[in-house]
Amino acid sequence: MEDKVLVQGTSALESFAIKFLRNDTNLGESSKLYGIMCCCKHQLEVFITREEITRSVVRLASEINHDYRGKSLLLIGVLKGAFVFMADLIRQLGLPVEVDFIRLSSYGAARESSGKVKVIQRLSASVKGRDVLIIEDIVDTGGTISFLLDYLKRKKPASLRLCALMDKPSRRQISVPIDYLGFTVPDKFIVGYGLDFDEKFRYLPYICFVGD
């Protein structure tokens, strides 16, 4: 199966190619088309397919359903990267959940974290006394989640756990407990399924590595 997708930044050509990509379940054909139609700027290599993502989301939801049976949960999604994962996950949960979002400082156009985390958009829900589950796209150095765990603990939830779609353990600087994990990934920059590189590629329905 063809698994290289050649793309460039936002352009009319890219928008046109994405239409084919979205409508085509045959990744091989659509990615060839995409490659042919776009001049090469970034090379994306599909690493986790839609089917693998779906299986993982179903498994995570069943673990969460089991552990929180009879409870109601407050899910806190970390914007922007977690929004696609969270949208899929809540539709697999058989629990009464409330959702809220927090936005923390991001990498911007860089692939490396600045190391300093700030709250850019606060929660609207009250956390005190609630069973809280953080939904994160990827844990890399651990700085973001470590900050968020401390921030939320100070608000006195009844319980606090973390569900992350991906873990990049080779880059960890601060140890964080991941209670529910989708995939362990190698030290490569990842885009798609909500994750971006300089705000690009969040829309891809699968998870890719970015080449140089």
Active site residues: 140
User: How far, in Å, CA of 53 to CA of 157, rounded?
Assistant: 30
Q: Residue written as tokens 């069973």?
A: 131
My answer on whether omega of the bond before 80 falls inside 30° of 0, hence cis, is yes
* Minimum distance, C-beta of residue 205 to ligand IMP, in the bound complex (Å): 16
Among 73, 78, 133, 178, binds Mg ion (CB under 5 A): 78
Q: Between the CA of residue 181 and those of 63, 85, 190, 208, what are the distances in Å?
A: 10, 12, 16, 18
- Minimum CB distance to ligand IMP smaller for 30 or for 144: 144
* Span of 43-51, 67-75, 135-143, 197-205 interacting with Mg ion by CB under 5 A: 135-143
User: How far, in Å, CA of 91 to CA of 57, rounded?
Assistant: 10
Length of the chain: 212
* Minimum distance, C-beta of residue 92 to Mg ion, in the bound complex (Å): 20
User: How far, in Å, CA of 209 to CA of 158, rounded?
Assistant: 38
- 140: contact with Mg ion by CB under 5 A: no
Which of Mg ion, ligand IMP, none has residue 86 at its interface (CB below 5 to 8 Å by kind)?
none
- Minimum CB distance to ligand IMP smaller for 142 or for 182: 142
C-alpha closest to that of 180 among 58, 74, 32: 58
Q: How many CA atoms lie within 13 A of 59 on its CB side?
A: 12
Which of Mg ion, ligand IMP, none has residue 141 at its interface (CB below 5 to 8 Å by kind)?
ligand IMP
- Minimum CB distance to ligand IMP smaller for 108 or for 129: 108
Name the site residues for ligand IMP (rule: CB under 6 A).
78, 81, 107, 113, 136-145, 189-190, 195
- Minimum CB distance to ligand IMP smaller for 37 or for 141: 141
User: How far, in Å, CA of 138 to CA of 167, rounded?
Assistant: 6
Which of Mg ion, ligand IMP, none has residue 190 at its interface (CB below 5 to 8 Å by kind)?
ligand IMP
List of residues contacting Mg ion (CB under 5 A) = 78, 81, 137
